[in-house]
Amino acid sequence: MLAIAALILGAPHDARAFCGFYVGKADEPLVNHASQVVIAHHDDKTVISLMNDYQGEPSDFALVVPVPVVLQKGQVHIGDRELFQKIDAYSSPRLVEYYDPDPCRIMDYEMPMAAAGGMALNREAAPSPAEAKALGVTVEAEYTVGEYDIVILSAKESSGLQTWLQQSGYKIPLGADRALEPYIRSDMKFFVAKVNLTEHNRTGLTYLRPLQFAFESPKFMLPIRLGMINSQGPQDLVVYMLTQNGRVETTNYRTVKLPTGMDIPEYVRTDFGGFYKAMFDEQVKRNDMRAVFTEYVWNMGWCDPCAGPPLSRDELRSLGVFWLDDQPGGATPMYRRPGGGPMIYPQPMTGATPVTLTRLHVRYSADTFPEDLIFQETQDQENFQARYVMHRPWDGSPSACEGAKNYFDDLNKRKAHEAETLADLTGWNLQDVIKKAGLSPESQPKPWWQDIWGS
Amino acid sequence: MDAFSSTPKHWTASLADPRLFQIFALGILLAAGAYFRDFSIRPEQVILTFAAGLLTQTACWTLTPSKPRTLRSAIITCLSLTLLLRANNLIAHPIAAAAAISSKSLFRFRGKHLFNPATFGLIFAIVLLPGTWVSPGQWGQDVAIAAWVVMFGMLVTSRARRGDISWTFLAFYLGALALRIEYLGQRWAVWTHQLESGALLLFAFFMISDPMTGPNDRRGRVAHAALVAAIAYAWQFRLYRTNALIWALFIAAACVPLWDAIWPARKFEWTQNGGANVFSANQSSHFVNARDRGADSRRAA
């Protein structure tokens, strides 16, 4: 999903994910996938974690994010990249596999597969420092955290800020001042990070670790507009919301749950990521790219079936969930169904963990998302997962028993229906689906007129 | 106008009541929302809302036996609640509906009820009832645009005189949004995007325009509209809180008696109830102003 080329100018793509944009010094193309952000929010307190899969030279990395308040050193932290992978795995759209019971007996199990749903993250950027200037730009704070040199700026006018960034070596895209202006007028500050090469080398890591920052502000929003400057097309953003009470939705855009629970043909198993991507594309199209999609809403204490294990208390705390009490950490031990069935974490008897995860996936363009995303936490605690079902047929023979014949009759109808469902969800050509599903051409529904005159 | 009003066709008189058009418009919105959009309102919730709201209304009649009896206002309240209130349980809607309708009897000042019932029901629910919320983003661009067209068309053709508060409010509020966009240097697409809220539309045409709870005099209505717009703006863009419009109307209701004291005028009465005036369908009905009130009262008598 990604967009790639874009970074050419430095900023845009990345911006997506983050609430800001990456700026690069070099013109080298940087690879982006979908951006990922984790936001833990409760009582006007927010912890944002920005995941970064920047692939370029560390010396070329830089990131600009509007923030509501000046962040002091203690409010900025280096996160753990693995937690993004875990939370992604836990909340990914999933394909569940069921085996048809022997129609001559009774039995049933299901196997969930984690779905690498085709979404990825995004990151990149390039770097540069700054010299203090009298451009109406104030350096509110300056410090080094982990491998990042960080500057918190406030500005009086956007052109001054743009000049400051340019003189400091940041490659600012054209039109940046126009995009910066509303944030300056709203009295927001700018979090600007670049890589401290000495510190980076000391970590011995080949990648840049996620940045996290904590602040208190009634603004529950994600500034995406900055990332749209000179963007060359739609961008993907996945937001993981961790809240105490319920599902999170956007208040200024429609929040839509993805189609879920559908039966789809078996062959999808070989390319579930491709299926999910096509389905998401189709849903985006049907909603004119004007909706935010809900992929997952679940209490963090359990899952069923699980695409990945729930995060432990320590892991949640590390992602900014500050309201968990100090009980010992660790999720309930994983439980497997007898017979090698699907992985589930049962709902704890002690009650739900006070953390709800809402996974929102949005594809946006400058035209269809004129405003930043504004969120609200609802009281809705109903669980939701993007889940697709695949039935494995029984491999017996129609002559095995009386019930077997009926079973195979029904099976053919079911397969035809699954093919139609798949074509409808993804916008794929039904003929192609039928072919790939290994169904005979007769499986497709006859045109209504075919039987009129008998042919 | 008396010549018109003397026409005793019962059915035309009924059609004269603008509340019927409101019920029609809200019903269409609800159906469209449920069909084209996932409004996440369950059929049981709709049924329970109406059951509780209408039962409460009939119960309240025993408290004020002399008033004309019609369920039209209660139906509008129930429709507004089902359009705006969301809940993850079945008890929130009926309780909110009962609270909304009974607020008309419980919170009164000089013969007028203080709160628009749907507004009261929403605030009551989101503050006191667990598992409730309002989804301002649920409408989507196309539905909201279509609804604006219908609403404006309705308002213009009905020439409702108390519709002035809708226009005044929209002028103040949308004007404030426009000034903010100009100040921030945002694109105008933001402004049009902000109009896409169906909640704003419901609010402007069905809640703040409620003639029973708005100020009686035109000047009072202007002051009221300005105050509501100011509170809503501050609530949303200074405090960064949600449900700004609903809270603003709820809070500003406390000032309506003040506006009525400063600019006294005759209280509004619905004129449906059987006969009344065909004329009001074309001319004012619904939002008959103070000077017409005398004539309406005579007709009602």
A interface toward B at CB cutoff 8 Å?
158, 178, 181-182, 185-186, 217-220, 246, 249-257, 287-288, 290-291, 367, 370-371, 376, 378-382
Q: How confident is the model at residue A3 (pLDDT cuts 50, 70, 90)?
A: very low
In terms of domains, do A412 and A367 share one?
no
Identify the pLDDT of residue A424. 93
Which has the closest alpha carbon to B269: B236, B248, B295? B295
In terms of domains, do A326 and A434 share one?
no
* Interface mutation vs chain B, best among A220, A252, A362, most B CBs within 10 Å: A252
Please indicate whether, in this complex, the C-beta atoms of B242 and A376 are within 8 angstroms of each other. yes
DSSP string, B39-101: ----HHHHHHHHHHHHHHHHHHHTTSTTS---SHHHHHHHHHHHHHEEESSSSHHHHHHHHHH
Residue A234, domain extent = 4-389
Please indicate whether, in this complex, the C-beta atoms of A250 and B133 are within 8 angstroms of each other. no
Identify the pLDDT of residue B10. 52
For A106-109, which contacts have Cβ atoms below 8 Å and span 24 or more sequence positions?
A: A109/A337, A109/A339, A109/A341, A109/A342
Assess whether pLDDT exceeds 90 at residue A361.
Answer: yes
Assess whether pLDDT exceeds 90 at residue A235.
Answer: no
Domain count, chain A: 2
A44-48, A414-418, B20-24, B42-46: which has the minimum mean pLDDT? Answer: B20-24
Tell me the nearest-neighbour CA distance from B184 into chain A, angstroms. Answer: 4
- Mean pLDDT within A89-95: 87
Q: Tokens representing B93?
A: 């809607």
Please indicate whether, in this complex, the C-beta atoms of B88 and A382 are within 8 angstroms of each other. yes
Q: Residue A410: which residues within 8 A CB-CB, separation 6 or more?
A: none
Identify the pLDDT of residue B61. 81
Identify the pLDDT of residue A351. 61
- The partner residue sitting opposite A371, judged by closest CB among B190, B239, B240, is B190
In A, which residues are within 8 Å of B130 by CB distance? 379
Rounded CA gap, A251 and A84, in Å? 25
Identify the pLDDT of residue A320. 93
Angle at A218 between CA A215 and CA A224, to 5 degrees: 75
- Mean pLDDT within A403-420: 87
In terms of domains, do A424 and A339 share one?
no
Rounded CA gap, A213 and A1, in Å? 27
Contact in structure between A256 and A381 (CB atoms under 8 Å): no
Please indicate whether, in this complex, the C-beta atoms of A185 and B136 are within 8 angstroms of each other. no
B interface toward A at CB cutoff 8 Å?
37-38, 86-88, 130-133, 135-141, 183-187, 189-190, 193-194, 197, 239-242
Contact in structure between A111 and A344 (CB atoms under 8 Å): no
pTM of the model: 0.83
Q: Beta strands A384-385 and A189-195: pairing type? A: unpaired
DSSP string, chain B: -HHHHT---HHHHHHH-HHHHHHHHHHHHHHHHHHHS-----HHHHHHHHHHHHHHHHHHHTTSTTS---SHHHHHHHHHHHHHEEESSSSHHHHHHHHHHHHHHHSEETTEESS-HHHHHHHHHHHHSTTEEE-TT-S-HHHHHHHHHHHHHHHHHHT-GGGHHHHHHHHHHHHHHHHHHHHHT--HHHHHHHTT-HHHHHIIIIITT-TTTS-SSHHHHHHHHHHHHHHHHHHHHTS--S-HHHHHHHHHGGGHHHHHHHS--PPP----SSSS-SHHHHH-GGG--HHHHHHHHHHH-
In terms of domains, do A281 and A425 share one?
no
Contact in structure between A301 and A331 (CB atoms under 8 Å): yes
In terms of domains, do A283 and A316 share one?
yes
3-state SS, chain A, equals: CCCHHHHHHCCHHHHHHCCCEEECCCCCCCCCCCEEEEEEEECCEEEEEECCCCCCCHHHCEEEEEECCCCCHHHEEECCHHHHHHHHHHHCCEEEEEECCCCCCCCCEEEEEECCCCCCCCCCCECCCCCCCCCCEEEEEEEEECCEEEEEEEECCHHHHHHHHHHCCCCCCCCHHHHHHHHHHCCCEEEEEEECHHHHHHHCCCCCCCEEEEEECCCCEECCHHHHCCCCCCEEEEEEEEECCCCEEECCCEEEECCCCEECCHHHHHHHHHHHHHHHHHHHHHCCCCEEEEEEEEECCCECCCCCCCCCHHHHHHCCCCCCCCCCCCCCCCEECCCCCCEEECCCCCCCCCCEEEEEEEEECCCCCCCCEEEEECCCCCCEECEEEEEECCCCCCCCCHHHHHHHHHHHHHHHHHHHHHHHHHCCCHHHHHHHCCCCHHHCCCCCCCCCCCC
Rounded CA gap, A433 and A268, in Å? 10
Please indicate whether, in this complex, the C-beta atoms of A254 and B137 are within 8 angstroms of each other. yes
Identify the pLDDT of residue B297. 40
Averaged pLDDT of chain A: 78
Assess whether pLDDT exceeds 80 at residue A278.
Answer: yes
Q: What chain A residue is nearest to B140 in terms of C-alpha separation?
A: A254
Assess whether pLDDT exceeds 60 at residue A112.
Answer: no
Residue A452 lies in a domain: no
ipTM summary value: 0.81
Rounded CA gap, B28 and B45, in Å? 17
Q: Residue A435: which residues within 8 A CB-CB, separation 6 or more?
A: none
In terms of domains, do A302 and A430 share one?
no
In B, which residues are within 8 Å of A254 by CB distance? 37, 137-140
pLDDT per position as a tens digit, B4-37: 444 445 545 555 677 787 888 888 888 887 777 7
Contact in structure between A116 and A409 (CB atoms under 8 Å): no
Identify the pLDDT of residue A35. 80
Q: How confident is the model at residue A143 (pLDDT cuts 50, 70, 90)?
A: very high
Q: How confident is the model at residue A15 (pLDDT cuts 50, 70, 90)?
A: very low
In terms of domains, do A335 and A188 share one?
yes
In A, which residues are within 8 Å of B136 by CB distance? 251-252
Q: How confident is the model at residue A258 (pLDDT cuts 50, 70, 90)?
A: very high
Residue A433 lies in a domain: yes
* Interface mutation vs chain A, best among B90, B122, B132, B133, most A CBs within 10 Å: B133
B248 φ/ψ sector (left φ>0, alpha ψ -120 to 50, else beta): alpha
* Interface mutation vs chain B, best among A185, A250, A379, most B CBs within 10 Å: A379
- Phi and psi at B299, nearest 5°, equal -65, -45
In terms of domains, do A236 and A289 share one?
yes
In terms of domains, do A407 and A353 share one?
no
pLDDT per position as a tens digit, A374-396: 999 999 988 999 888 888 888 88
Which has the closest alpha carbon to A97: A280, A258, A272? A272
Q: How confident is the model at residue B290 (pLDDT cuts 50, 70, 90)?
A: very low
Tell me the nearest-neighbour CA distance from B143 into chain A, angstroms. Answer: 11
- Phi and psi at A448, nearest 5°, equal -60, -30
* Interface mutation vs chain B, best among A46, A215, A286, A378, most B CBs within 10 Å: A378
Residue A157 lies in a domain: yes
Q: How confident is the model at residue B108 (pLDDT cuts 50, 70, 90)?
A: confident
- Mean pLDDT within B216-222: 90
Q: What is the spatial order of strands in the sheet that A221-222 belongs to?
A: A221-222, A373-377, A248-250
Please indicate whether, in this complex, the C-beta atoms of B242 and A378 are within 8 angstroms of each other. no
- Mean pLDDT within A73-101: 88
Averaged pLDDT of chain B: 79
In A, which residues are within 8 Å of B139 by CB distance? 254
Q: Chain A to chain B, count of Cβ pairs less than 8 Å apart? A: 74
Please indicate whether, in this complex, the C-beta atoms of A186 and B38 are within 8 angstroms of each other. no
Q: Residue type at B134?
A: V
- Mean pLDDT within A130-148: 79
Handedness of CA B123, A297, A363, A194 (dihedral sign): positive
Identify the pLDDT of residue B161. 56
* Interface mutation vs chain B, best among A371, A377, A383, most B CBs within 10 Å: A371
Contact in structure between A281 and A427 (CB atoms under 8 Å): yes
- Mean pLDDT within B265-278: 54
Tell me the nearest-neighbour CA distance from A47 into chain B, angstroms. Answer: 18
> Which residues are bridge partners to A347 per DSSP?
none
Please indicate whether, in this complex, the C-beta atoms of B38 and A256 are within 8 angstroms of each other. yes
Residue A450 lies in a domain: no
Q: Residue A303: which residues within 8 A CB-CB, separation 6 or more?
A: A90, A309, A310, A344, A345, A385
Residue A102 lies in a domain: yes
pLDDT higher at A448 or B82 = B82
Please indicate whether, in this complex, the C-beta atoms of B133 and A376 are within 8 angstroms of each other. yes
Residue A451 lies in a domain: no
Residue A275 lies in a domain: yes
In A, which residues are within 8 Å of B137 by CB distance? 249-255
Assess whether pLDDT exceeds 90 at residue A121.
Answer: no
pLDDT per position as a tens digit, B119-157: 999 999 999 999 999 988 887 777 777 777 777 766 665
Which has the closest alpha carbon to A229: A5, A65, A33, A15? A15
Contact in structure between A362 and A256 (CB atoms under 8 Å): no
Please indicate whether, in this complex, the C-beta atoms of B140 and A182 are within 8 angstroms of each other. no
Identify the pLDDT of residue B155. 67
Q: Residue B192: which residues within 8 A CB-CB, separation 6 or more?
A: none
* Interface mutation vs chain B, best among A376, A383, A384, most B CBs within 10 Å: A376
- The partner residue sitting opposite B133, judged by closest CB among A182, A371, A380, is A380
Residue A292 lies in a domain: yes
Handedness of CA B109, B112, B113, B119 (dihedral sign): negative
- The partner residue sitting opposite B137, judged by closest CB among A251, A380, A382, is A251
- The partner residue sitting opposite B193, judged by closest CB among A186, A288, A370, is A370
- The partner residue sitting opposite A371, judged by closest CB among B37, B130, B193, is B193
In B, which residues are within 8 Å of A182 by CB distance? 184-186
In A, which residues are within 8 Å of B45 by CB distance? none
In terms of domains, do A257 and A406 share one?
no
Please indicate whether, in this complex, the C-beta atoms of B189 and A254 are within 8 angstroms of each other. no
Please indicate whether, in this complex, the C-beta atoms of B139 and A381 are within 8 angstroms of each other. no
In A, which residues are within 8 Å of B85 by CB distance? none
Among residues of chain A, what percentage have pLDDT more than 90?
A: 31
Please indicate whether, in this complex, the C-beta atoms of A257 and B86 are within 8 angstroms of each other. no
Q: What chain A residue is nearest to B139 in terms of C-alpha separation?
A: A254
Tell me the nearest-neighbour CA distance from A184 into chain B, angstroms. Answer: 8
- Mean pLDDT within A137-160: 89
Please indicate whether, in this complex, the C-beta atoms of A379 and B187 are within 8 angstroms of each other. no
Assess whether pLDDT exceeds 90 at residue B180.
Answer: yes
Residue the block writes with tokens 């309406």:
B296
In terms of domains, do A78 and A215 share one?
yes
Q: Tokens representing A231?
A: 């963007």
In A, which residues are within 8 Å of B183 by CB distance? 185
In terms of domains, do A211 and A330 share one?
yes
The length of chain A is: 455
Q: Beta strands A343-344 and A335-336: pairing type? A: antiparallel
Assess whether pLDDT exceeds 80 at residue B45.
Answer: yes
Assess whether pLDDT exceeds 80 at residue A18.
Answer: no
CB atoms within 10 A of CB A285: 11
